[in-house]
Amino acid sequence: MKRIGMLTSGGDCQALNAAMRGVVKSLTNAQEDVEIYGFLEGYKGLIYGNFRMLTAKDFSGILTKGGTILGSSRTPFKLMRTPDENGLDKVEAMKQNYYKLKLDCLVILGGNGTHKTANLLREEGLNIVTLPKTIDNDLWGTDMTFGFQSAVNIATDAIDCIHTTAASHGRVFIVEVMGHKVGWLTLNAGMAGGADIILIPEIPYDIDSVIKKIDERNQNGSRFTILAVAEGAISKEDAKLSKKDYKKKMENYPYPSVSYEVAAKIREKGDYDVRVTVPGHTQRGGSPCPYDRVFASRLGSEAGKLILNGEYGFMVGIKNREIIKVPLEDVAGKLKMVSPDASIVQEAKMLGICFGD
C-alpha cells in the first residue's frame, strides 16, 4: 500500500491538473493499492488537516482542465516559522498531519516560494517529491516549468490583437506581461508577437533609448510601435537605488504599474499617443496548451516512478529535452534569471528589437 499526499501551492496555472493526473495514473497503473490524499488550498490544507480522499476517477477527464481541482493559496515561506493567530506551530502541524495519515510521500506542485517550504519539510524528515509549476519559468534546475508555454501563447495572442488597432490608429501600445521578477515570459511573448521594444527586469531600461527607437520607427514610416513590458521592469535610475530607497519610492508610487510610468514618460518626452493593455490573470487561466499537457504528463509520470522506487527529496525537471531529477536543496531559494548576454537576447537584438539599454 502506498499512501500519497498531494497539494498545489501558490498562484495557479495551466496543467496543474494534468501533472497530478500523470502522478496518479503512473502509480495506479503500476500497482492497485494506492491511496491519494488531496490537501485543499495548498499548504493551508496540510497545516489545518483539510483534505479529501481521492480516487483514480477524480483524475479522469482533467487533462485539459485549467486551474487546480485541489484549490491553491499563498502561504509565504518567510511566515512558515511564525505561529498563526492561535499560536499554532505551522511546521509542526504539517508534520503531524503527514504522520497522522501515515503518508509515504507528499507530492508538491508549485513555484519558487513553494519549493522553499518543500525543502524545509524535507529537512524536517518528510518524504517529498515536487513538480515545477509557474508561468514565470524562473525555477532553478529545470529548462522549463509547466504553465509557461500556455502563458506565452496567451500573452502572444494579446500582442497579436494589439497590432491591428495600433496600426490602425498610429499609436504606441504597451502590453504589460506577467513574470514576477524575471523576464522569460515577456521575452518569449514579445519575440513571438513581433514587439519592437521589450523591457525586462534583468536589463534596466533608459527611457531615452526607448523613445529613440520609437522615433526611428516613425522616421522609417512605421506609424505604430509595440512594447512588451514585464511587470517587474525597472529603469536604470531605479536599479541604482538601494533596496531601502527603492522600497521607500514605491510606497509613494503614483502609477498602477511600471507600464503606466513608461507610458507617461513617453508622452512627456516624445509627445506620442500611448495606450496600455494589461492582460493580467488571463495569462495563467484557461486550458493548458498541447505542449504543457504533454510536458506536465511526463513530469507526473517520472514523479510516480520516483515514488515507486522510494527516491525522495527531488524536484522533477527537464534538461535538454530529457526528464531529470534535481535535489530539492539545490533548487530552493534560487531564481533562474534571463542573462543580458543570453543568446536569445542577442538574437532578438539582431532582429532589431530594443531592450532599452
Q: What are phi and psi of 322, to 5 degrees?
A: -110, 135
Give me the helix-helix angle, 112-123 and 90-100, nearest 10°.
70
Instruction: Report the CATH architecture of 2-147+288-331.
Output: 3-Layer(aba) Sandwich (3.40)
208 is a catalytic site residue: no
Cβ atoms of 355 and 234 within 8 Å: the answer is no
* CA separation for the pair 318, 304 (Å, rounded): 16
Cell 522506487 sits on residue: 309
Residue ranges of the chain assigned to CATH 3.40.50.460: 151-284
Strand segments (E) across 32-127: 34-39, 51-54, 105-110
Interacting residues of 347 by C-beta distance below 8 A, sequence separation 6+: none
Q: Tens place of pLDDT for every residue, the chain, 357 residues?
A: 899 999 999 989 999 999 999 999 999 999 778 999 999 999 999 999 999 999 989 999 999 999 999 999 988 899 899 999 999 999 999 999 999 999 999 999 999 999 999 999 999 999 999 999 999 999 999 999 999 999 999 999 999 999 999 888 889 999 999 998 999 999 999 999 999 999 999 999 999 999 999 999 999 999 899 999 999 999 999 999 898 888 888 888 999 999 999 999 999 988 899 999 999 999 999 999 999 999 999 999 999 999 999 999 999 999 999 999 999 999 998 999 999 999 999 999 999 999 999
- Per residue in 121-155, pLDDT (tens digit) is 999 999 999 999 999 999 999 999 999 999 999 99
CA distance to 98, 118, 141, 265, 325, per residue, from 329 (Å): 20, 9, 11, 43, 12
CATH architecture label of 151-284:
3-Layer(aba) Sandwich (3.40)
Comma-separated ranges of CATH 3.40.50.450 domains in the chain: 2-147+288-331
Angle at 12 between CA 151 and CA 132, to 5 degrees: 80
For residue 40, what are the contacts with CB-CB under 8 A and spacing of at least 6? 50, 51, 52, 70, 71
Helix axes 290-308, 148-169, angle to 10 degrees: 160
Report yes or no: 136 and 37 within 8 Å, Cβ to Cβ: no
pTM of the model: 0.95
CA distances to 34, 126, 163, 306 from 178, rounded to whole Å, are 38, 33, 19, 33
Each residue's pLDDT tens digit, 165-207: 988 888 999 999 999 899 999 999 999 999 999 999 999 999 9
Q: Terminus-to-terminus CA distance in the chain, angstroms?
A: 58
| 52: nearest Cα among 41, 38, 65 | 38
The pLDDT of residue 56:
87
What's the one-letter identity of residue 136? D
**Catalytic one of 136, 138, 196, 292:** 136
